[in-house]
Structure 1
Amino acid sequence: MNPTRRTVLLVAGTGTAAALLPAGPAAAGQDAAARPAAEAAASALQPYASYWYPDSFPSGSPGAGITWRSLKAWSAATDADLAFNTASVPLAERFTPTPVNSTARAGQARIQSLVSFGPTASNPSQGAATADYYALTHWSYVDELVFWGGSSGEGLILAPNAPIVDAAHRHGVSVLGNVFLPPAAYGGQLQWTRDLVQKDAAGHYPLASQLVAVAEAYGFDGWFVNAETSGGNAALATDMLGFLTELKALSTAKRQRVTWYDSMTVSGSVSWQGALNNQNRVFYQAADTMFIDFRWSASSLASSGTNAQQIGRDRYELWAGVDVEANGWNRSVNWDAMVPSGSAHVVSVGFYRPEWTRNHLPATRTPGDFHAADDRFWSGRALDPARPDSTDTWRAPAVAVADRSTVSGLPFATTFNTGHGLRWYEDGEVTSTAQWNHLGLQDRLPSRRWVTRTTGQHPAVTLDFADAWRGGSSVLVDGTLDAPTTLDLYGTRLPLGPDTVVELTHRADSGDVSVELAVATAEPSGPGQPYSYTYFPVAAGDGWETSTVRLTGLPAGGTVHALGVRLTGAEGGGAVKWRLGGLAVRDGDAQAPGTPADASITGASGGDLRLAWRAPTGAGVRQYTLHRVLPDGTRRFLGGTAQQAFFVGGLTAEGGESAARFELRAVGELYTASAPATLTHTW
């Protein structure tokens, strides 16, 4: 059984304690060697997400597949996996469209999400050969993502995988690493707290500097500090405050942020307050935000918000913890204590372990099963933020928090790729039959899923994995179109020029349907009101069709505020299945990037290879793709990444070849590909 907060309560033997514990078989207090042998016996070349102890290690030896590392001893110059773990997408700026319903508010409560994407050890740096992954897509409601994990037997300080950071940054979401000092009941040692807050001869905190250096080198946005090891005293609390103060100062200089968890108090004891009060206020003042433990009440949150404002802070810098690890949307929550629908929000929301949307499903789950559950969690039972179900006891983020978007510059393109899939498609053809996940390949996805406007029946809209134009998924509209139906896709702030065109790649799988592009050049009249669209006919053909639409008649120099499609079925209605595989907005012809430079195989062990290259000059690069050229001349997709290094494993000779041939391409924002850099590996 994975440890949960309730497990800690039982082990600790107290009914008043609460704690944040990571997930996974190797969580504190469990033997990491119990992992499946196949996971432990990984290739020596396989790069993994990084994790450390502050300085000293536990007694004994690490379990299989685990490497004990000291953060104090870390340096970027000696980090052999740095190129695989460094994010490449800068944090995008966001804007807030007019809310899609009358209850979602802008500028008030925000959402923090604490997610365990995998185990502490043996968590691949750049995805894996399975589609079964927590591929979060509802970034528009999230302000801060914490890369949750850590255990006493593996390591306590976790840096997030680069693909997760790249996907989050593309949607404007900050990502924090995790500093976890476990409860004693789960193997926590007070020495590790002392290690973290040790001072040098000059009175500085060397591990504060190290944390900032790691975040800067790896390209993420700061740290969540969770000090839950009991046994401390006021002197240790003073050292922790000094450490946190220095960490915050160094972080601010690098545009990083720090979140403190409501655990240690000014006495040095671990006593979860469920509030901002005199026991933890100094730690909050030394940080950017604070996660309030789950034991909060309506009155404690009200007083916390007031206390924050009295010391000149924003009440929405407080995250009220909502534990959804065990029951997800079935969790009973006093929503009015945090995000009342009839008055101003009190504080922000901190979701603990929303990957329940994947984990609660049976082992036979598919990507479609996961996304259906994840849509239910973030959008609500109605699965349409514009038509929320007032009887739903789960107050989904879409009905409380205004969505945000980063679609504000040209060129913009999406192929509705979620970052995982059952196959890989290029131009509508399968170029790999292998399952995969890599969040760094995820596109910017529609933020309001799924808003359909019609006087007739509302069709079902999903991210579907049975077919795609590029990547692993497409948008599928499935239902009876007995009246014209408009599907909102993106809130945008795109400049409108005389040469602006929109390209749609689409296909009718069944039924008669006519398609129009919907373009809005202004915001709705108010929250909950629809966009006023102008509609442009879209040509259709057999199979996948890419239609180019000129925005004739719209004011040059204006702004595109929203994009959607309107679908009309045959007269009298009828069942329709229609796919949208791609959408692009551009002002000029698509330019391909240059060829990746100095591509080479930097490490080889049997069929396991490490590759590295330099970015080309010229047009911007979105990502890179690696294909294998088979003896018959066909190309097989092996993987893609936004980094300038890649690992591919398990290759074997095919068709009697003496050497394997590879092609590495740079891919631009409009998915134009460069000429290939070729590589060869002799068997």
Structure 2
Amino acid sequence: MTPTRRAVLFTGAATASAALLPLPSPAAAASGSPAGPGALPAATPPLASYWYPDSLPSGEPGEGITWRSLREWRAEGDADLAFNASTVPLAPRFTPAPVNTTARTGQARIQSLVSFGPTAGNPSQGSPTADYYALTHWAYLDELVFWGGSAGEGLILAPNAPVVDAAHRHGVRVLGNIFLPPVVYGGQLRWTRDLVRKDADGHCPLAERLVAVAAAYGFDGWFVNAETEGGDAALGADMLGFLTELKKLASARGQRVTWYDAMTVNGAVSWQGALNNRNEAFFEKADDMFVDFRWSPSSLASSAQLADRLERDRYALWAGVDVESSGWNHSVNWDAIVPATAPHVTSLGFYRPEWTRNHLPQGHTPADFHAADDRFWIGRSLDPAHPDTTDGWRAPALSVADRSTVSSLPFATTFNTGHGLRWYEEGRVTSETPWNHLGLQDRLPSRRWVVRTEGTRPQVAFDFEDAWRGGNSVLVSGALTAPVTLDLYATRLPLRGGAVVDLTYRDESGAAVGVELAVATVEPAAGAAPPYTYLPVRPRHHGRAGGGWRTVTVRLPGRSGTVHALGVRLSAADGTPVAWRLGALAVRQADRPERRPAPPTGLRVTAASEDALRLAWRPARGQVRQYTLHRVLPDGTRRFLGGTCQSAFHVAGPRPVEGERTARFEVRTVGEVYTASSPAHVRHTW
């Protein structure tokens, strides 16, 4: 990659410090016992981890930067590991019949290199702002690289837990990043030598350490990007040996390795823009390779042919497309990668698609971001069932079939995108603080937004002005001049023993919107509408409600078979304008009531400062979607503090209220269909 594309990574450090603190034993702060700041370590904010391979730079780190050696890392000494380790397993995914006739199955896949935050000072568990790259179009991604690193901060990045949890929920692998920067950006060849150094037994200790980090943190492998110039054939051979050992150890743990097209077998850095005899040895030792942006139609064609001769999958080559500076305005020779009238040549690698957020003006809203992100992934038509083939930006939805993980019961979603302007619980605001935390993101509709109607197409979008739970709902607005069917989920949900769907919605327009549940039990042909059966949603059978929301239960027909698609059909008399919100959807076994999950145990304060606490607990037994944390005020009011999939949480900014000597905190387990456990309690003395 050329230096100009890197500049954003080297602009300095964040302001937060990440001192390593030992976690006290449960006996040091037993559940329910008061603990003052003087009795515990300081509650520093947990941050995403980053390292140098071994030797550190000369001098002193900048403000907010902690220099660490990967060679010295041990899981038992990692004070932030409980905050950073993913708990969501990689979900199996399937490929439904494509929603259009242009998208292919079994051909090109997509890898994205994304910088979610700075190298130093990147929070482990979200932050109090809605302005975040809340990626939601996971259905088109195969692999995500947690991009970053700089010579002044650290070169090896472990993805933080929210990113991994959200990706895994959608079946997407996440790789950590190993970035050995060009000399012009401070790269030093000694760091490359540190990485590949062998011990007395001829092994590469850092290969083992990298695999141990990925296993402890719960992510899926490493992206190896060696771009520091000045190497020779001996270093090239050492790098090949290191990659061979890394791949062997990684494969044994179910991890993957991607090689970046930079260093060649003679040790020099020479970006090829192709798979050829100067880098094929590295490709053969890795799972796949990111082909540098210097590719041409002929070099990609020859790369694919060489992969065929090597008996490797040509779609294990990611043809790089740099969208960091211009996004969908970037000119790309799409027919060289994903031709419209011939088999795809290679796969596709996006560099920095978070442009969809970064290019927006100051003061943009979450809705502004999602509109831009939809434009990037879906294309100008904003409807993957009706792609605009004249659009110069050939969006992923036009070429690559979407995938889904909705294949088992129970399944539930509140359409939470992982950020919001406030937090809602059962239709009521329980926190006015803006927030982001991708780990709280639900499995989201993969085909946004497919709207089927013979009349005027209403607007459909994630909306952040009201929600049933989390930070947003789905808003359908506009005149309904004919019935409108909104595709929601491609599924493989079994109907064994019968099932029901709980639908939570709100009609704000007073238009008496007719609502039907759309259910397809047969797979459609590619590009065809699902063969829906429409089941009436009868308001008189609604459950508890808040703020005008209602929950209606609809029994699915039959006691066997498979649900292949779910949606809703809306209608209104005389083309009346509507504003209709969908807040939640759950599919569960009719004869198997969902039990409340078990509460967490051993809740304790593990660190305390005047304005922060660290809490930890033992994970609850059984199926856990996430945990929610509340503070109970002296008048009994519960104030939402946050949620997490981990068993540790950093509480920032707690202050005593008038007359309060001890603060009371609660943690609840949240199950798959959003049933909550009884609370675990802990008190903290001011």
Map Cα deviations across residues 253-276 of structure 1 (whole Å, 9 max, x no partner): 000000000000111110000000
Equivalent-residue separation in structure 1 for 2:456 and 2:205 (angstroms): 62
Secondary structure (helix, strand or coil) at the match of 2:119 reads: coil
Contact 1:23 1:119 in 2 (8 A): no
Correspondence for 1:516: 516
| Residue aligned with 2:286, SS | coil
The answer for the alignment partner of 2:602 in structure 1 is: 598
State the alpha-carbon separation in 2 of the partners of residues 41 and 600 from structure 1: 21
Alpha-carbon separation, structure 2, partners of 1:431 and 1:497 = 38
CA–CA distance in structure 2, aligned partners of residues 78 and 47 of structure 1: 14
Q: CA deviation at 1:391?
A: 1.8
Q: TM-score, normalised by structure 1?
A: 0.94
Q: In the alignment, what sits opposite 1:547?
A: 552
Q: CA deviation at 1:539?
A: 2.1
AA partner of residue 662 (structure 1):
F
Instruction: Tell me, in whole angstroms, the C-alpha distance in 1 between the residues paired with 2:478 and 2:450.
Output: 14
User: Which residue of structure 2 lines up, in the alignment, with residue 431 of structure 1?
Assistant: 430
Alignment CA distance shift 1:108-1:41 (3 Å): closer
Which position in structure 1 is the counterpart of 2:543? Answer: none
Equivalent residues of 2:16, 2:121 under 8 A apart: yes
| Distance apart, 1:341 and its partner CA | 1.2
Give the whole-Å Cα distance in 2 for the aligned partners of 1:646 and 1:616.
15
Contact 2:273/2:295, CA 8 A, preserved across alignment: yes
Contact 2:631 2:665 in 1 (8 A): yes
SS at the partner of 2:275? coil
Amino acid at match of 1:200: D
Q: Quote the residue 1:581 is aligned against.
A: 583
CA distance in structure 1 between the partners assigned to 2:616 and 2:467 by the alignment: 29
CA distance in 1, matches of 2:616, 2:289: 40
Report the counterpart of residue 660 of structure 1 in structure 2.
663
Q: What residue number does 1:612 align with? A: 616
Within 5 Å, give how 1:276-287 maps onto structure 2. Answer: 276-287=275-286
Aligned residue type for 2:385: A
User: For residues 363 and 12 of structure 2, what CA distance do their matches in structure 1 show?
Assistant: 27
Q: Distance in 2 between matches of 1:41 and 1:266?
A: 38
Q: SS in structure 2 opposite 1:563?
A: strand
Q: State how 1:641-652 maps to structure 2 within 5 Å.
A: 641-652=644-655
Shift of 1:616: 2.1
Alignment partner of 1:201: what SS? coil
Describe the shift of the 1:550–1:22 C-alpha distance in structure 2 as closer, same or farther (beyond 3 A): farther
- Post-superposition shift, 1:498? 3.7
SS at match of 1:417: coil
What is the Cα deviation at residue 31 of structure 1?
Answer: 4.4
Q: Deviations over 1:611-634 (max 9, x none)?
A: 1111222x4111000001112211
CA displacement at 1:512 relative to structure 2:
2.8
Cα offset, 1:388, TM superposition: 1.0
Q: Residue 422 of structure 1 contacts residue 435 of structure 1 at CA under 8 Å; is this kept in 2?
A: yes
Q: 1:669 aligns with which of 669, 672, 676?
A: 672
CA contact under 8 A between 2:663 and 2:683: conserved in structure 1?
A: yes
Judge conservation of contact 2:474–2:581 (CA < 8 Å) in 1. yes
Q: Is the 8 A contact 1:141 1:404 kept in 2?
A: yes
Q: Distance in 2 between matches of 1:262 and 1:360?
A: 28
* CA deviation map 1:624-665 (0-9, x unaligned): 000011122111100000001111111111132111111110
- Which 10-residue stretch deviates more, 536-545 or 133-142? 536-545
CA distance in 2, matches of 1:679, 1:99: 50
What amino acid is aligned across from residue 535 of structure 2 in structure 1?
Answer: F
After superposition, the C-alpha distances for 1:2-31 in whole angstroms (9 at most, x for unaligned) are xxx66x25xxxxxxxxxx63744xx1xx44
For 1:180 and 1:281, locate their aligned partners in 2 and report how far apart those are by CA, in whole Å: 20
Tell me how far apart the structure 1 counterparts of residues 18 and 155 of structure 2 sit (CA, whole Å).
Answer: 22
Contact 1:319 1:347 in 2 (8 A): yes
Q: Distance in 2 between matches of 1:607 and 1:659?
A: 14
Give SS of 2:469's match: coil
Alpha-carbon distance in structure 1 between the residues aligned to 2:522 and 2:51: 50
Shift of 1:44: 5.4
Bigger RCO of structures 1 and 2 (CA < 8 A, at least 6 apart):
2
Listed one character per residue, the Cα deviations across residues 445-499 of structure 1 (whole Å, up to 9, x for unaligned) are 0000000101001111101100000000100001110101100000000001343
Q: Percent identity among equivalent residues? A: 70
1:15 maps to: none
Q: Aligned partner of 1:613: which letter?
A: W
Cα shift at 1:155: 0.2
Among candidates 608, 623, 631, match of residue 628 of structure 1: 631
Check conservation: 1:601, 1:610, Cα contact below 8 A.
yes
Q: Distance in 2 between matches of 1:615 and 1:158?
A: 26
| One-letter code aligned to 1:545 | R
Task: Say if 1:22 and 1:151, in contact at 8 Å, map to a contact too.
Answer: no
Matching of residues 446-461 of structure 1 within 5 Å: 446-461=445-460
Range moving further from structure 2, 216-225 or 76-85: 76-85
Amino acid at match of 1:590: E
Instruction: Tell me the distance in 1 between the aligned counterparts of 2:94 and 2:299.
Output: 32
Matches within 5 A, 1:468-547: 468-510=467-509, 511-524=511-524, 526-540=525-539, 543-547=548-552
1:362 equivalent in alignment to 2:361: yes
> Deviation at 1:109?
0.2
What one-letter code is carried by the residue in structure 2 that aligns with 1:117?
F
1:384 and 1:450 in contact (8 A); partners too: yes
Q: Partner residue of 2:34?
A: none
**Cα distance in structure 1, aligned partners of 2:561 and 2:648:** 41
Partner Cα distance (1:666, 1:601) in 2: 18
Q: For residue 39 of structure 1, report the CA deviation from its aligned partner.
A: 4.5
Secondary structure of 1:302's match?
helix
For 2:240, the equivalent position in structure 1 comes to 241
Segments of 5+ residues of structure 1 without an aligned counterpart are 10-19
Distance 1:257 1:374, change over 3 A: same
Native 8 Å contact 1:225 1:259 kept in 2: yes
Question: Which stretch of the first structure deviates more once superposed, 535-544 or 160-169?
Answer: 535-544
Distance in 2 of aligned mates of 1:41 and 1:517 = 49
Indicate if the aligned counterparts of 1:56 and 1:70 stay in contact, CA closer than 8 A.
yes
Task: Give the TM-score of the pair, scaled to structure 2.
Answer: 0.94
Q: 2:24 maps to what in 1?
A: none
Q: How many Å separate the matches in 2 of 1:388 and 1:594?
A: 46
Contact 1:416 1:475 in 2 (8 A): yes
Give the equivalent residue in structure 2 for 1:83: 82
Corresponding residue SS for 1:523:
coil
Query: 1:222 matched to which residue of 2?
Result: 221
- Equivalent residues of 1:22, 1:149 under 8 A apart: no
Residue number in structure 1 paired with 2:419: 420
Q: Once the 2 structures are TM-superposed, how far is the Cα of residue 509 of structure 1 from its aligned partner?
A: 1.0
The alignment partner of 1:260 has SS state of strand
Letter in 2 for 1:522: V
Per-residue deviation, 1:41:
9.8
Match runs of 1:292-371 below 5 Å: 292-371=291-370
SS in 2 for 1:662: strand
Paired position in structure 1 for 2:130:
131
Say whether the 8 Å CA contact 2:18–2:46 is kept in structure 1.
Answer: no
Change beyond 3 A, Cα 1:644–1:248: same
Deviation at 1:187, TM superposition (A): 0.1
SS at match of 2:71: coil
CA–CA distance in structure 1, aligned partners of residues 667 and 90 of structure 2: 26
Quick one: distance in 1 between partners of 2:7 and 2:95?
A: 33
Residue 12 of structure 1 is matched in structure 2 by: none
Distance 1:480 1:339 in 2: 38
Deviation readout 1:33-60 (Å, 9 max, x if unpaired): xx5xx55699852110000000001111
In structure 1, the partner of 2:39 is none
Report the Cα distance in structure 2 between the residues aligned to 1:392 and 1:655, rounded to whole angstroms.
Answer: 60
**Distance in 2 of aligned mates of 1:114 and 1:182:** 16
Query: What is the rounded CA distance, in whole Å, between the counterparts of 2:248 and 2:213 in structure 1?
Result: 15
- Residue type at the aligned position of 1:547: V
Q: Distance in 1 between matches of 2:274 and 2:501?
A: 50
Distance 2:554 2:107 in 1: 38
Letter in 2 for 1:632: D
User: 2:18, 2:66 within 8 Å by CA — same for their partners in 1?
Assistant: no
**Structure 2: distance between partners of 1:59 and 1:424:** 45
Q: Deviations over 1:156-187 (max 9, x none)?
A: 00000001000000000000000000000000
